[in-house]
Structure 1
Amino acid sequence: MATTAEWDIHLYLSEEDGTTKARVELDTGTIALTGHGVARCNPQDVDVPAIGDELAAGRAMHDLGSKLIRVADNDMADAGAAPPEPGPRQVYGWMNEMA
């Protein structure tokens, strides 16, 4: 039987003095998680606020995704599944080169 779930996600961005901060909040109805990200403009670079927004938001979502994976790992362990193997997970399609 097919099911559909809807999770609420809110992304907040703030910028001050060449530093952009992002906070992304996820509410699944059973858990709430928050991810954070920061981007700083190099003083020698042209200040393009959209780039800072994109980097900070992407880093916040990456942080949130990592936390969500840990929750899933713990839930699988609680259900009796084998723990994930140590080391980096296989990434499909995107390279994980976040700072």
Structure 2
Amino acid sequence: MSHTTEWKVRLQLVEDGGKTEARAVLDTGTTSLTATGAAQRAPGDEDAPEIGDEFAAGRALRDLGSRLLQTAERDVEARGAAPEPRTSTTYGWSM
């Protein structure tokens, strides 16, 4: 049985006064997950907004990944399969 789908991720970045905030939204077509990330330029650092964008976006996407894994774990548990004790960050399904 083959399954193909497309999910969309929107990433919004806002920089103001050396602080960058990112908001990532995953839209699966039936549900959505939202995550955030932030970066703060140190007072002595060069003004390089693209670096703040990279840090804030990376943190938002990492948060989104964590939220997605938590959702998958809840879905597995709802089907009666309790998670096994973790010894690594690999969850249920292998990579």
Normalised by the length of structure 1, the TM-score is 0.83
Identical-residue share of aligned pairs (%)? 49
CA contact (8 A) 1:13 1:22 kept: yes
Matches within 5 A, 1:8-87: 8-85=8-85
Q: CA deviation at 1:86?
A: 5.3
- CA offset digits 1:15-44 (Å, max 9, x no partner): 000000000001112221001000000011
How many residues get paired? Answer: 91
How well do the aligned residues superpose, as a CA RMSD in angstroms? Answer: 1.8
Partners of 1:67 and 1:6 in 2: CA distance:
18
Q: Which runs of 5+ in 1 are unaligned?
A: 91-99
TM-score norm. by structure 2 comes to 0.86
8 Å contact 1:12–1:24 — kept in the other structure?
Answer: yes
Query: Aligned-pair distance for 1:84?
Result: 4.3
